[in-house]
């Protein structure tokens, strides 16, 4: 059984209010997501959400269960979302192979016993970003290409938040129990994501930032609308957003991020909006 995991317990707004920079980063930042030839998980007690990544280079990597799940195999009571942020790779699910190109996704339903990750080329490997949530029902495994995505254009160049949202693993495209995943791409000249900010007390969320240029960074904002904090992040890092927290960011360049959600419902539009002028 794999020991490649860390557990993060839930924190209330009252606790977070008094955290310094080091404590805040330790609690919410996932500093290293992608690992070569192994999967390392962060198991959050917010909705039992799991975040990980794998870069298969020298060998195929098999998805193994971890002790907190108390399960014979990883997906015994869980579902899994995969998005490839590297070069061409393959995910084998109980013997059936799915080839994933850059920014393509795969939903794997509860009950799949063997999931194997591999790259087409050792020199230019796949980089699989992984999210997993508990599941109470079995839904079919399904690949989602960029052409299959539901696309939404939001924001404007004038407010530095022109962006394209690609809904990949969402209930309008893929049947899931509670996992929802998609991708937001900031256009050149735009740096603000998810602005105006919002929270949704029915769901938690994880952001994974990538395509952040070298020597550039993103400042991720979190906290209650009138008690915000920030965490500086670089390329291929993730951050946990509690249900009570806003989640927004601004970069020193445009970038891309993957959002993953789980919780009470599957309604993408279920948000409690916050006016920009009321943020503190």
Q: Are 149 and 179 a contacting pair, CB within 8 Å?
A: no
Q: Record the pTM.
A: 0.96
Q: How far apart are CA 145 and CA 232, in angstroms?
A: 31
**What domains sit in the chain, N to C, each tagged with a CATH number?**
5-9+13-278 (2.60.120.10)
pLDDT, tens only, 216-271 = 999 999 999 999 999 999 999 999 999 999 999 999 999 999 999 999 888 777 88
Structure tokens at 37: 């030839």
Both tokens assigned to 116? 């194997």
Taking the C-alpha atoms of residue 128 and residue 26, their distance in angstroms, rounded to an integer, is 24
Q: Give me 58's structure tokens.
A: 């020298």
- As given in the structure block, the two tokens for residue 22 are 């080091």
Question: 7: pLDDT confidence band, cut at 50, 70 and 90?
Answer: very high
Q: What sign does the CA torsion over 169, 178, 218, 245 have? A: positive
The dihedral built from the CA positions of residue 32, 244, 83 and 62, taken in this order, carries a sign that is: positive
- How do residues 169-182 score in pLDDT, each as one tens digit? 999 999 999 999 99
In the structure encoding, which two tokens stand for residue 149, read together? 């995505």
């Amino acid at each position: 059984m794999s020991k490649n995991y860390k557990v993060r317990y839930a924190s209330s707004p009252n606790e977070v209010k008094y955290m310094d920079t080091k404590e805040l980063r330790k609690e919410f930042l996932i500093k290293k997501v992608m690992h070569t030839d192994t999967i390392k998980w962060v198991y959050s007690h917010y909705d039992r959400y799991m975040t990980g990544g794998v870069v298969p280079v020298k060998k195929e990597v098999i998805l193994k269960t971890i002790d907190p799940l108390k399960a014979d195999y990883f997906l015994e009571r869980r579902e899994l979302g995969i998005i490839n942020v590297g070069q061409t790779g393959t995910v084998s699910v109980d013997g059936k192979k799915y080839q994933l190109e850059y920014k393509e996704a795969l939903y794997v339903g509860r009950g799949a016993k063997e999931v194997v990750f591999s790259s087409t080329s050792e020199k230019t490997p796949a980089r699989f970003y992984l999210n997993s949530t508990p599941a109470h029902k079995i839904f079919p495994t399904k690949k989602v290409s960029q052409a299959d995505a539901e696309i939404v254009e939001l924001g404007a160049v004038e407010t530095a938040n022109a962006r394209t949202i690609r809904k990949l693993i969402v209930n309008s495209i893929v049947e899931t129990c509670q996992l929802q995943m998609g991708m937001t791409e900031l256009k050149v000249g735009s740096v603000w994501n998810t602005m105006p900010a919002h929270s949704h007390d029915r769901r938690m969320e994880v952001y994974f930032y990538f395509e952040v240029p070298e020597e550039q960074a993103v400042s991720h904002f979190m906290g209650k609308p009138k008690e915000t904090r920030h965490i500086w992040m670089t390329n291929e890092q993730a951050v946990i957003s509690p249900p009570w927290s806003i989640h927004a960011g601004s970069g020193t360049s445009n970038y891309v991020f993957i959002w993953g959600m789980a919780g009470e419902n599957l309604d993408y539009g279920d948000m409690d909006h916050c006016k920009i002028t009321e943020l503190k």
